[in-house]
Amino acid sequence: LRTLKLTLAYDGTRFVGWQRQAEGLSIQGLIEDALAPLAGGRVTVHGAGRTDAGVHAMGQVASVQIACAHDLETLGRALNAQLPPDVRVLGVDEAAPDFHARFSARSKHYRYQIDRAPIADPFRRAWAWHVPDALDVDAMAEAAHLLVGTHDFAVFQSAGTSVSETVRTITRSGITAGDVLVYDVVGTGFLRHMVRAIVGTLVEVGRGRRRPASMGWLLEEGTRADAGRTAPPQGLFLVRVDYD
Amino acid sequence: LRTLKLTLAYDGTRFVGWQRQAEGLSIQGLIEDALAPLAGGRVTVHGAGRTDAGVHAMGQVASVQIACAHDLETLGRALNAQLPPDVRVLGVDEAAPDFHARFSARSKHYRYQIDRAPIADPFRRAWAWHVPDALDVDAMAEAAHLLVGTHDFAVFQSAGTSVSETVRTITRSGITAGDVLVYDVVGTGFLRHMVRAIVGTLVEVGRGRRRPASMGWLLEEGTRADAGRTAPPQGLFLVRVDYD
C-alpha cells in the first residue's frame, strides 16, 4: 500500500461539506468515488479539516492508502478528469506510511471574507458574508489580536458539540481591511464552527456592540451564549494545512 | 414621464442574456418585472449592451421611461428587494428626457479574463476562460494594440449576423498579465460577439499559431473564417458605459 497526500481546492457552495453523509454530495465522497476505479476498489480518504456545508477550500489536504502503480501526475490527471469542475486536485504527493492528513497536521490556516460594499457584490455573494453596516476595523483588529496564544476556546465551540480537550494555540489572528475585509487565522487546531463564531463576535466588536477587551473575558469566563453568533459558511476558506 | 438611468451589475451565469426571450430568464425581463409594480404597469427597459448568455456586467446601464413619484434611493432599494442576488441595481439617476442607454452611449468598456493556471481554479470557473497552454503574452499585447483606431471590424462579427455599418473606433485595447490574464477594450461600439472573436484570435497569437502583425491583414482583407474562434462567454464582463 502507498500513502498519498492530496492537495485539493473546492467551491463548497453546492456540497453538504467535506464529510460523506447519507444524503447529498460531499467532497470526501467525490474523492473516494474518483479513486475507487484507480485503486480497484473502495478506499477511505481522510481530510485535514472537516469543512462544513458551504465552506470552501483553497488548500485542503487529504490522505489515502491505496494499492496502485500509477505515477503521481497520471493519478492527478485521472482524478481531475472524473471530478466536477468545482473540485480540483492541485497536487498528489507520496507520503510517509504513517502520514494522516488530520492527525499529522501541525497547523491550519483559515480565511474569512466579509463584503463591506453598501450593495452586495453579485460576484462575491458565494465567497463572502455581506455586512454593509459601518464597522470599526481597528477595534476588530485589536480584538482579533487578543486571540493569539494558547487558550481554552470552548466559548467559540458550536453548541451541541463537545470535545473533551478545547485548548488550542492560535499563532496568527489578523484583519486586513479593503473593500473585502479579510480575517486570517492560523492555529494548531480548531473546534467545530470556531472560526465562524470568532468572526460573528468580531463583527459585533466592529459594530460597537462589544469592546475589543471583552475577548479576554470571553476566553476566560464566557459561555457560548456570551459570544457572537456563528457567521454564515460562504465566507470561510480552508487556505492551507502545514505538516512537519 | 420621468427618464431614469439604472446602473446594474450581474452574474450572467444562469441567464439567457440581457435581452428578454421567449424561454429562460433574462436580465431585461427581471428588471422590467421588478419595475412594473412601481410603475403601475408594464415598462420597457433599454440596455446599453445586449450581453449574451453567460456574459457578466459590472456596470451595465439601462434606461426607462416611467411614471412614478418615488425618490431615487427608494426606487433602488425597492428594485434590489425584488431582484435575485445575482442581479443588483448599483445606482438610479434622473436622466434627460431624450436619454437612451444604447443610443446615447459614447463608449463602452469590456473586459475578458483568462485563467492561466495549469489546473483550472474552481473559484474562477464562472468568470474566466481556462487556457493552461503556454502563451506569449508580449505577442498578444502587440496584436491587441494593433486594433486601436477606426477600422472595419466585420472580420470579428459573428457569422450569421450582419449590420450594415461595421466600422467602429477602438480607443484602448490592452493585455494585463498575471495569474489571470486580463484583456481590456474600450470603443464606441461593438459588433455581435466581437470582443470574444478578438480574444479567440489573440489566444491563437499567444499560442504562436499566428503573428501579431496578422491583425492588420485580418482587419483589411480577412473574412470571419480567417479570424480565431469565438472565446467562451463566461470570461466576458461589460465593465462600464460612458455618456457625454
Instruction: State the complex-level ipTM.
Output: 0.87
Search chain B and give the residue with CA nearest A10.
Answer: B122
Cα(B114)–Cα(B49) distance, integer angstroms = 22
Rounded distance between C-alpha atoms, residue B17 and residue B24, angstroms: 9
**Is the distance from CB of B63 to CB of B117 less than 8 angstroms?**
no
3-class SS at B234? helix
pLDDT of B162 reads: 66
Question: How many Cα neighbours within 13 Å face the side chain of B106?
Answer: 4
User: What is the rounded distance in angstroms from the CA atom of residue A98 to the CA atom of residue B211?
Assistant: 54
Burial (Cβ within 10 Å: 0-12, 13-18, ≥19) of residue B73: exposed
For β-strands A105-115 and A236-243, DSSP reports them as antiparallel
- Residue B125: its chain A contacts at CB < 8 A? 11, 85-86
Residue B102 in grid coordinates: 444604447
pLDDT of residue A163: 75
What is the structure's pLDDT at B120? 95
Which residues of A are identified as catalytic?
52
Inspect the interface and report whether the beta carbons of A87 and B9 lie closer than 8 Å. Answer: no
- Among chain A residues, the shortest Cα distance to B88 is held by A122
User: What per-residue confidence (pLDDT) applies to B100?
Assistant: 97
Mutate to test the interface with B, among A6, A8, A31, A121 (most CBs of B within 10 A): A121
pLDDT on residue A179: 85
Calpha distance A70→B71 (Å, rounded):
66
Q: Count Cβ–Cβ pairs < 8 Å, chain A vs chain B.
A: 46
DSSP B101: T
Nearest to B86 by CA among A234, A121, A14: A121
Distance from CA of A211 to the nearest CA of B (A): 32
pLDDT values of chain B reduced to their tens digit, one per residue, 244 residues:
899 999 999 999 999 999 999 999 999 999 999 999 998 899 999 999 999 999 999 999 999 999 988 999 999 999 999 999 999 999 999 999 999 999 999 999 999 999 999 999 999 999 999 999 999 999 999 999 999 999 999 999 987 766 779 999 999 999 999 889 999 999 999 999 999 999 999 999 999 999 999 999 999 999 888 999 999 999 999 999 999 8
Residues 6 or more apart in contact with residue B233 via CB below 8 angstroms: B12, B52, B53, B54, B55, B196
CB pair distance less than 8 Å for B121 and A85: no
CB neighbours (10 Å) of residue B235? 28
Radius of gyration of chain B (CA): 19
Tell me the HSE value of B13 on the side-chain side, using a 13 A CA sphere.
11
Say which range, A106-120, A153-167, B205-219, has the weakest mean pLDDT: A153-167
CB-CB under 8 Å, A80 with B122: no
In this structure, what C-alpha cell is assigned to residue B135? 502563451
Residues A202-216 pLDDT 10s: 999 999 999 999 999
Sign of torsion over alpha carbons A199, A200, A204, A207 = positive
CA–CA separation, B46 and B8 (whole Å): 12
Q: Which residues face A91 on adjacent strands?
A: A7
What is the pLDDT of chain A when averaged over all its residues? 95
Match 491505496 to its residue by C-alpha cell: A66
Q: How far is A234 from chain B (nearest CA, A)?
A: 12
- Beta carbons of B87 and A122 less than 8 Å apart: yes
What residues of chain B lie within 8 A of the CB of A123, using their CB? 9, 11, 56, 58, 127
Q: Which residues of A touch B122 (CB under 8 A)?
A: 9-11, 85-88
Residue B163 confidence (pLDDT)? 75
- List the beta bridge partners of residue B130: B115
pLDDT at A158: 85
CA distances from B73 to B41, B46, B80 (A): 20, 21, 11
- Residue A119, Cα to own-chain centre: how many angstroms? 27
Return the C-alpha cell found at B81: 428587494
Three-state DSSP class for residue B172: strand
User: How many Å lie between the alpha carbon of A125 and the closest alpha carbon of chain B?
Assistant: 8
Q: How many CB atoms lie within 10 A of CB A163?
A: 10
Is there a contact between B88 and A11 if contact means CB atoms under 8 Å apart?
no
For A57-97, what is each residue's pLDDT tens digit?
999 999 999 998 899 999 999 999 999 999 999 999 999 99
State the pTM of this model: 0.91
Q: Please spell the DSSP secondary structure of chain A, one letter per residue.
A: -EEEEEEEEE-GGGSSBSS--SSS--HHHHHHHHHHHHHTS---EEESS-PBTT-EEEEEEEEEEE-----HHHHHHHHHHHS-TTEEEEEEEEE-TT--TTTTEEEEEEEEEEE--SS--TTTTTTSEE--S---HHHHHHHHHTT-EEEE-GGGSPTT---S--EEEEEEEEEE-SSEEEEEEEES---TTHHHHHHHHHHHHHTTSS-TTHHHHHHHH--GGGSPPPPPGGGEEEEEEEE-
Task: Quote the pLDDT of residue A162.
Answer: 66
CA dihedral A113, A117, A123, A124 (to 10 degrees): 10
Looking at the predicted structure, is the pLDDT value of residue A140 above 70?
yes
CB atoms within 10 A of CB B108: 23
- B91 pairs with which residues across the strands? B7
Q: How far apart are CA B144 and CA B135, in angstroms?
A: 14
Say what the pLDDT of residue B147 is: 97
pLDDT at position B175: 97
Contact call for residues A46 and A100 (beta carbons, < 8 A): yes
The span from the CA of B85 to the CA of A125, in Å, is: 8
Local confidence band at A160 (pLDDT 50, 70, 90 cut-offs)? confident
**A59 to chain B, closest Cα gap in Å:** 12
Q: Are A161 and A146 in contact (CB under 8 A)?
A: no
